[in-house]
């Protein structure tokens, strides 16, 4: 029982990290119809900016703000100068964003070096609580809490605010929204920056979670985020949240009970979902 609870917590923490990356990806696709394969690079930049800021200042909250700001700024530049010319062309989007992913990774190597970097843990989140035989690691509980708060905030904005109404209307009919006098271009820019900031938030939380970061985390977790988005349904935040939790839990339990399948379990999950529901768990049929 103790092992089961600990694996549940580990899986939920991993799932929330993946959700933060996948949420931005699915929002960007849902509104803008953009396949951004450079999203993992924003995750990696968030991790490195967070680790560097925390090591320089000792202020973990400031490192989170710096990472989100860096992600949003990179998102602004990407949307303005790279994504804008290829709207509506998925093949061009895949090719150009894969190139941006490589550039972002090489910039990390140029600035912080090719060697892995240790990620420090803030003192107030260090340690754990032991209840019976269950070990509750503070930082993992913190990640779960942040993930739930972000999910609640996204759901509230999309379903309870005028901005969310405009965003959902833009998903259904961009031309109609423009006809009502709303600047869809500024809305696209805002959505892309928010998605990039969420990816960077996932990255800065990932650093202390893993204890060490390297330039390849962007590609690795970017692929994982796409798997989650496909399982949950392209453009559906609720589906991405559920899929991220499923992937996180499956990875945690497989790594403990059947280590040989721990790397393949995500692909197997995606294969099963696509066989029986090609549009994803919550995806709309097109």
Q: What residue spans define the domains of the chain?
A: 2-114+181-276
Report how far residue 17's alpha carbon sits from residue 204's, in angstroms, rounded to the nearest whole number. 10
Torsion of CA 22, 23, 27, 28, to 10 degrees: -40
Report how far residue 236's alpha carbon sits from residue 275's, in angstroms, rounded to the nearest whole number. 19
Mean predicted confidence (pLDDT) in 109-131: 91
Q: Could you count the other beta carbons within 10 Å of the beta carbon of residue 91? A: 9
Query: What is the tens place of the pLDDT at every residue in 10-56?
Result: 899 999 999 998 988 888 887 777 889 999 999 999 999 999 999 99
Contact criterion met (CB below 8 Å) for 44 and 217: yes
Contact criterion met (CB below 8 Å) for 53 and 200: no
The encoded tokens of residue 123 equal 């003192």
The encoded tokens of residue 122 equal 């803030």
pLDDT of residue 1 exceeding 70:
no
Query: What is the tens place of the pLDDT at every residue in 78-103?
Result: 999 999 888 888 899 999 999 999 99
Q: Which residues pair with 129 in a beta bridge?
A: 136
Predicted TM-score (pTM) of this structure: 0.92
pLDDT band at 285 (very low <50, low <70, confident <90, very high): low
């Amino acid at each position: 029982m103790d092992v089961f609870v600990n694996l549940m917590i580990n899986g939920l923490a991993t799932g929330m990290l993946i959700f933060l990356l996948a949420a931005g990806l699915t929002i960007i696709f849902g509104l803008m119809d953009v396949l951004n394969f450079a999203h993992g690079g924003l995750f990696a930049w968030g991790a490195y900016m967070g680790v560097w800021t925390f090591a320089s200042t000792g202020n973990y909250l400031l490192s989170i703000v710096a990472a989100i700001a860096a992600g949003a700024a990179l998102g602004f530049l990407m949307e303005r100068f790279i994504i804008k010319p290829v709207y509506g062309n998925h093949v061009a989007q895949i090719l150009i964003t894969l190139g941006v992913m490589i550039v972002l990774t090489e910039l990390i190597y140029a600035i912080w070096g090719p060697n892995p970097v240790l990620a420090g843990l803030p003192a107030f989140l260090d340690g754990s609580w032991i209840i019976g035989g269950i070990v509750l690691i503070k930082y993992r509980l913190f990640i779960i809490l942040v993930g739930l708060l972000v999910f609640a905030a996204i759901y509230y904005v999309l379903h309870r605010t005028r901005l969310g109404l405009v965003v959902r209307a833009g998903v259904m009919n961009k031309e109609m929204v423009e006809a009502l006098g709303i600047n869809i271009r500024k809305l696209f820019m805002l959505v892309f920056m928010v998605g990039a900031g969420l990816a960077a938030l996932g990255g800065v939380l990932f650093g202390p979670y893993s204890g060490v970061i390297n330039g390849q985390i962007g590609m690795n977790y970017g692929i994982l985020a796409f798997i989650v988005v496909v399982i949950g349904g392209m453009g559906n935040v609720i589906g991405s949240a559920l899929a991220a939790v499923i992937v996180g839990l499956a990875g945690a339990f497989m790594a403990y009970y059947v280590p040989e399948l721990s790397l393949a379990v995500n692909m197997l999950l995606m294969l099963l979902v696509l066989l029986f529901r090609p549009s994803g768990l919550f995806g709309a049929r097109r």
